[in-house]
Each structure stands twice: as C-alpha cells, then as structure tokens.
Amino acid sequence: MRKIALVTYDDHLNETSLNQYYRQEEIELCNYLNQEFKKSEVIFKLESWTDAKIDWKQYKTLILKAPWDYIDRFSEFTNWINSISAMGIPILNSAKTIMWNSDKHYLREIADAGLPVIPTVFLDSGFNHLINLASYFEKFGSSELILKPCVSGGSKHTYRISRESSKNLNVPELAEPMMIQPFMPEIISEGEWSFLFFGGKYSHALVKKTKPGDFRVQNAFGGTNHEAKPSNELVDQANKYIELFAKDCLYARVDGVLVQNQLMLMELELIEPFLFLDLHELSKQNYLDALLCKLPTLLSAI
C-alpha cells in the first residue's frame, strides 16, 4: 500500500475549527482522491506538518494543501521542508518552489521579467515611524498605501494607510521585512481576480469581493467568492506568469486586479493556496489529471 500525505495544519484537523469552509475543501479532495485511486492501492491522508509523532518516511510523496500557520512559524517550517528534502521524500510543489515563493521578494523577480506587477518597495529593515510615508504617496502617485510583511498570508499585519491617517499613524512598528504598495481601488470597485492552474493548465477562475467598508477579500473579513468566466485574453495574461514561474507546479493561483483590462499581479500563490474547488464542476478532475502527470511511476497502476 502506497501512501501520500495531503499536508495541512492542526486547526483544519479539528472538527470544531472555525474555518469549516476551508477545512471542507481538504476533506472532500482527500475523499475524492482516495476514491479515484482505490484500485491502485494508493491512500491519501490529511496530516499536520507540525505533528511530531508522524514518521514522514512512510509517505511516497507529500502534497502541501494548507499548512497555513507557517507564516507564524517560518523558521520551523523552513527546517521541516529541509528535513523532508533530506529524507528524499518528494514534495509538491517542490521544496525549491516553496522556499522561493515564501517571501514576497519574488515579486521583484517577476517584475524584472517584464510581467505586470503592482509596484512594490521592500523595507528589509522593517517598518518604523521614522519612515517618510509621504515619499511613497508621491512615488506611486496614490492617495492610499498598503503596508504588509514580506512573509504573510490572510491579510495578517496588512494595513491600508491614507494620506490623512498617515499624519496620526495607528500602525505598530514591525521589525520583520515589510513591503509598501499603492492601494489599488479596483479591489473595491471590481474585486480581486484569482486564476487556478493545475499542472500548468488553466482550470477555473473567480472574483473575490470585499465587504462594504472593508478592503480585504478573505471570508474571515466578510469577503465573498464568485465564479467567473474570464475572456481568453485574460486567461492568456494569467498564463504568462505560469509559463515563466510555475509551469512545472502541480497547483498555482494567480491573484491580481484588472487595470484598464490589464492583469496586474498581486501574488503568485505556489505554496498553499485555497483552490476554490467548489466553484467549478471539473476542478477536482483537473487537479487529478495534473497529479497523474506528476506521479507517473507511483500511479502507473491507475
């Protein structure tokens, strides 16, 4: 019997989790894969990456699904990835991809490749109140800014700063590397686009919209998700990021906003993106097809 782990975190293995919508996607995907691989004697199991009792050598492959607390335990997570690699256990996406994508300095590399990215300035020494925010309003030609950590997720330590609020700033000083971007009003007016790719192939898309009065699209802040059917031109724009930076990935999510019909990248999610599998009827099949291509030897019996 061959075993593959879908790697998550402790909260999503808890039946009393407050994140039931997100947790359900993992459970349904695991059940779906076990059903599809039943005749091949391959078993999928959800495991928490921080569970010290697990003997990871029992698994042929680890697929990262939702180790969402890694941003709070980044050093520990890095050590864990390195230890799995040292054991020779394949990880999807690859360990190299995971580490590259874990720090949003990768946006600089994407921009240097000539692809549209929301303008970004990195504050490698962190954020303090001596930083001249006025210069960034001028640099970006924007009336509002976004300040967030370079290692982040779920809008943690993410602040929207206006010219007015910057005069009496209610933002803590943060020692970790930070980044500043112009606030994109399209987030409010149109929403944030997400394009899902499996095995380098486009699967489905959605638009995430904010709750009135907020700027964050996550469900935890009242955001909502809406299935979308983008034009071929828009899919082609999203695919350019995949072709250059995620072509060999099992899964990838391109997040951005449309500015005058041009997709501007916010994030390229290659570690643990939520996949919104419930929004498209063929999404699980698309994921399965990509997985079969990734593991031809292990899954050859199917």
Q: Read off the tokens for 36.
A: 């599809």
In this structure, are 201 and 252 located in the same domain?
Answer: yes
Phi/psi at 63 (5° precision): -115, 120
In this structure, are 192 and 263 located in the same domain?
Answer: yes
User: Taking 70 as the threshold, does the pLDDT of residue 302 lie above it?
Assistant: no
Q: Which residue pairs, CB below 8 angstroms and at least 24 apart, start in 90-96? A: 90/60, 90/61, 90/62, 91/61, 91/62, 91/63, 91/64, 92/61, 92/62, 92/63, 92/64, 92/249, 92/250, 92/251, 92/294, 93/64, 93/249, 93/250, 93/251, 93/252, 93/270, 93/271, 94/248, 94/249
> Which pLDDT belongs to residue 216?
83
Q: Is residue 104 part of a domain?
A: no
On average, the pLDDT of the chain sits at 92
- Contact between residue 121 and residue 107 where contact means Cβ atoms under 8 Å apart: no
User: For residue 72, what are the contacts with CB-CB under 8 A and spacing of at least 6?
Assistant: none
Among residues 189, 184, 142, 179, which one has the least CA distance to residue 163? 142
CA distance 57 to 73: 23
- Terminal Cα-to-Cα distance of the chain (whole angstroms): 14
In this structure, are 137 and 158 located in the same domain?
Answer: yes
Confidence of residue 15 (pLDDT cuts 50, 70, 90): confident
In this structure, are 195 and 164 located in the same domain?
Answer: no
Q: How many CA atoms lie within 13 A of 263 on its CB side?
A: 25
In this structure, are 7 and 91 located in the same domain?
Answer: yes
Q: Which of 160, 183, 206 is the last residue of a domain?
A: 183
Q: Is residue 291 part of a domain?
A: no
102 SS3 class: coil
How do residues 277-291 score in pLDDT, each as one tens digit? 999 999 999 999 999
> Which pLDDT belongs to residue 300?
47
CB 68: neighbour CB atoms within 10 A?
18
Q: Read off the tokens for 103.
A: 């720090």
CATH number, domain containing residue 49: 3.40.50
Boundaries of domain holding 172: 121-183
Among residues 159, 153, 152, which one has the least CA distance to residue 176? 152
How do residues 104-131 score in pLDDT, each as one tens digit? 999 999 999 999 999 999 999 889 887 8
Q: Is residue 253 part of a domain?
A: yes
CATH number, domain containing residue 252: 3.30.470.20
In this structure, are 74 and 10 located in the same domain?
Answer: yes
Number of separate domains in the chain: 3
Q: Is residue 222 part of a domain?
A: yes
Q: Which of 158, 183, 208 is the last residue of a domain?
A: 183
- What is the pTM for the complete model shown? 0.94
CATH number, domain containing residue 157: 3.30.1490
My answer on whether omega of the bond before 14 falls inside 30° of 0, hence cis, is no
Confidence of residue 301 (pLDDT cuts 50, 70, 90): very low
